[in-house]
Amino acid sequence: MTEDKENKEVSLVGLTKKEIKDSLRKLDIPDQQLNMRVNQIWGWVYNKGINSIDEMTTLSLDLREELKRYHNLERPQISDEQISKDGTKKWLLKFNDGSEVETVFIPDDERGTLCVSSQVGCTLNCTFCHTGTQRLVRNLTSQEIVSQIIIAKDSLSEWRQEPRQITNIVMMGMGEPLYNFESVRDGILTMSDDAGLSISKRKITLSTSGIVPKIKMAGDEIGSMLAISLHATNNDLRNEIVPINKKYPIEELLEACRNYPGLSNSKRITFEYVMLKGVNDSEAEARDLVKLISGIPAKINLIPFNSWPGSSYECSDWEQIEKFGDIVNRGGYASPIRTPRGEDISAACGQLKSDTKKVRASEKYKKELAKIESKRIGRL
């Protein structure tokens, strides 16, 4: 491979302004023009969503040719794409090293939410979560995080279209965002930049299992909305189902929430609560939940458990979810029940990859699932 060809492998899609600027230093651009060139490229990539450097008509022909020696506008490869009857759409994306993650688009009446991944797999082992059974391969780069939005916009043909289909971003795909802090921060700052993708930080939610020391940093350096995967009202149960709780128990987690920078009635924390039949769904727990979060501007998202092969939980009965929700509601907190979406394409976070694996059905994978399951049963 020639040097030129090798350099060409760098895509500009998903890069931060600083990364673009550093990269442009290789080109023959006078220093005083650098910022202007970065801003022009930024607009083409993130505002117009172009696919070819030739379309950057505000750059001279010579500069475009020079840029093409080192860069392209390639996107990650789409390994799989499925559309549900209800309009939910999901993509399995493959990066250069062969790692795969999923991104899911969930359209609703007035909004469209894109569920974005932050890691390949997850190092944590929440017992109800399929991603937790996959070995972490690696953190995603900020470029790979942002490119998930680019792929979705391409696929929904929403460049330069109003009204937008993607109105909200949730970092609720694969991975623990606060264990990949810098890339998630840079990715969110890139998506929220006014001159580019321009998705307001108020419409971007970072979901964490509760990495306490990073919560304040997230508020200070990222400033997005925050969601906490609470799922239990006492440490014994939370230690079991969200094991990171052994390191950062509920009291410390809630203290970090109370101190979340910018917290107010117009910037509430979302507490996520997965409904597991007979595990965390009693009426007493609903009352405990209200007491626990008292004083924190918040809403509670009740998430019906999404089953996966080998999981040992069941979703609570609908009636029980409603009872639970009513108690929380009477306690003064909005408690929407997240409607299952894209069930025919198993679009819940963590599910797409499991399906593809199932289709590929490697014996090794099946054995691994059986091992995880027997370990879990052993623990019960």
Task: Report what 63 binds from ligand SF4, ligand SAH, none; CB cut-off 5-8 Å by kind.
Answer: none
Instruction: Rule CB under 6 A: say whether 143 interacts with ligand SAH.
Output: no
Instruction: Rule CB under 6 A: say whether 333 interacts with ligand SAH.
Output: no
Smallest distance from the beta carbon of 210 to ligand SAH, in angstroms?
Answer: 8
Smallest distance from the beta carbon of 168 to ligand SAH, in angstroms?
Answer: 14
The nearer residue to ligand SF4, 107 or 173, going by C-beta atoms, is 173
Smallest distance from the beta carbon of 119 to ligand SF4, in angstroms?
Answer: 8
The nearer residue to ligand SF4, 125 or 312, going by C-beta atoms, is 125
Instruction: Rule CB under 6 A: say whether 215 interacts with ligand SAH.
Output: no
Select the residue interacting with ligand SAH from 46, 105, 260, 305 (CB under 6 A): 305
Instruction: Rule CB under 6 A: say whether 209 interacts with ligand SAH.
Output: yes
Task: Report what 306 binds from ligand SAH, ligand SF4, none; CB cut-off 5-8 Å by kind.
Answer: ligand SAH
Which tokens is 315 given? 């979703």
Kindly list the residues in this chain that would bind ligand SF4 in the complex (CB under 6 A).
122, 124-126, 129, 131-132, 175-176, 209, 229
Single out the segment in contact with ligand SAH by CB under 6 A; choices: 72-80, 191-199, 201-209, 283-291.
201-209
The distance from CA 240 to its chain's CA centroid, rounded to whole angstroms, is 24
Smallest distance from the beta carbon of 354 to ligand SF4, in angstroms?
Answer: 12
Instruction: Rule CB under 6 A: say whether 199 interacts with ligand SAH.
Output: no
The nearer residue to ligand SF4, 33 or 123, going by C-beta atoms, is 123
CA distance 105 to 253: 30
Q: 3-state SS string over the chain? A: CCHHHHHHCEECCCCCHHHHHHHHCCCCCCHHHHHHHHHHHHHHHHHHCCCCHHHCCCCCHHHHHHHHHHEECCCCEEEEEEECCCCCEEEEEECCCCCEEEEEEEECCCCEEEECCCEECCCCCCCCCCHHHCCCCEECCHHHHHHHHHHHHHHCCCCCCCCCCCCEEEECCCCCHHHCHHHHHHHHHHHHCCCCCCCCHHHEEEEECCCHHHHHHHHHHCCCEEEEECCCCCHHHHHHHCHHHHCCCHHHHHHHHHCCCCCECCECEEEEEEEECCCCCCHHHHHHHHHHCCCCCEEEEEEECCCCCCCCCCECCHHHHHHHHHHHHHCCCCCCECCCCCHHHCCCCCCHHHHHHHHHCCHHHHHHHHHHHHHHHHHC
Smallest distance from the beta carbon of 208 to ligand SF4, in angstroms?
Answer: 8
Q: Which residues are catalytic?
A: 102, 349
The nearer residue to ligand SF4, 131 or 280, going by C-beta atoms, is 131
The nearer residue to ligand SAH, 67 or 349, going by C-beta atoms, is 349
| Contacts to ligand SAH from residues 155-194, by CB under 6 A | 172, 175-176
State the residues that interact with ligand SAH by CB under 6 A.
Answer: 126, 128-130, 172, 175-176, 207-209, 229, 272, 274, 303, 305-306, 308, 348-350
